[in-house]
């Protein structure tokens, strides 16, 4: 289960959906694994606006990552293709670029390359535990929570 995916998951119990405590789910006994995924800044640019930043900071902290910026970075827009839009010129500030790139690469590592292989995710509202085995989380509920 990738850190990015966790940012889109909450408790499956219907009564918990309205509680702010049900998101993000909290990790316990998480075993991490790093994989190697090709760096793709355009995907990050697309997905970052949809990431809940406060929740990501909580998750990252629980998993031992302390380098997440306090504020969601505002990545440089996709360079305009000069063939399709000749009137717009590409504006890139040469000083800001390397720092931005480092932040984005760290985010790529955290969001896409870091996976929880084994462990539990716990709802902060109802306390239900969702197990993760071999990277696959199980969100099926027992009958008393349905």
Partner 1 sequence: MDYLIRFVQIHETFRKPEVETLAVLADVDVEFLSYSEDSPYSIVRLKDAFAARNLISRSISSKGIYELWGVGATYEELHANILNRSSSQWATYQSCSFRFQFDTFSGSRTLAEQRAIIESFKYLGFNGPIKLKSPDQTFTVFEEYEYGNPNGPLRVFLGRFVGGSQRHILNEYTLKKREYIDTTSMDSELALLTANLTLAAPDKVFYDPFVGTGSFPIACSHFGARTLGSDIDGRMVRGREGKDIRANFRQYGLLDRYLDGFISDLTHSPLRKGRWLDGIIGDPPYGVREGLKVLGTKDGSGKEAVYINGEAAHLQDKYIPPKKAYSFEAMLVDLLDLAVELLVDEGRLSLWMPTANDEDVELGIPSHPCLQLVSVCVQTFNKWSRRLLTYKRIPDSRFTDCLLARQKVEMKGSTANDLNSFRKRYFEGFKAPLTGEPFGEPAGGKS
**Residue 43, both tokens:** 């995907």
- Mark residue 124 as left, alpha or beta (left: phi above 0; alpha: psi -120 to 50; beta: remaining): alpha
Give me the least distance between CB of 94 and partner 1, in Å please: 25
Site for partner 1 in 45-74 (CB under 8 A): 45-47, 50, 52
Nearest of 27, 9, 13, 39 to residue 110 by alpha carbon: 39
Helix (H) or strand (E) holding 106: helix 96-108
For partner 1, which is the closer residue by CB, 52 or 62? 52
Any contact of residue 38 with partner 1 (CB under 8 A)? yes
| Positions in the binding site for partner 1 (CB under 8 A) | 1-2, 4-5, 7-14, 17, 23, 37-38, 40, 42-43, 45-47, 50, 52, 112, 129-130, 133-144, 146
């Amino acid at each position: 289960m990738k850190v990015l995916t966790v940012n889109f998951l909450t408790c499956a119990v219907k009564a918990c959906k309205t509680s702010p405590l049900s998101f993000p789910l909290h990790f316990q006994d998480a075993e991490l694994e790093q994989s190697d995924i090709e760096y793709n800044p355009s995907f990050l640019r697309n997905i970052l606006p949809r990431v809940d930043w406060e929740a990501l900071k909580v998750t990252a902290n629980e998993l031992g990552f302390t380098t997440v910026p306090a504020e969601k970075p505002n990545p440089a827009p996709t360079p305009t293709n000069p063939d399709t839009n000749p009137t717009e010129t590409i504006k890139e500030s040469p000083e800001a670029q390397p720092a931005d790139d480092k932040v984005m690469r760290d985010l790529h590592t955290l969001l896409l390359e870091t996976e929880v292989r084994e462990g539990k995710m716990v709802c902060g509202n109802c306390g239900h535990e969702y197990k993760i085995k071999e990277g696959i989380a199980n969100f099926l509920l027992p009958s008393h929570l349905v």
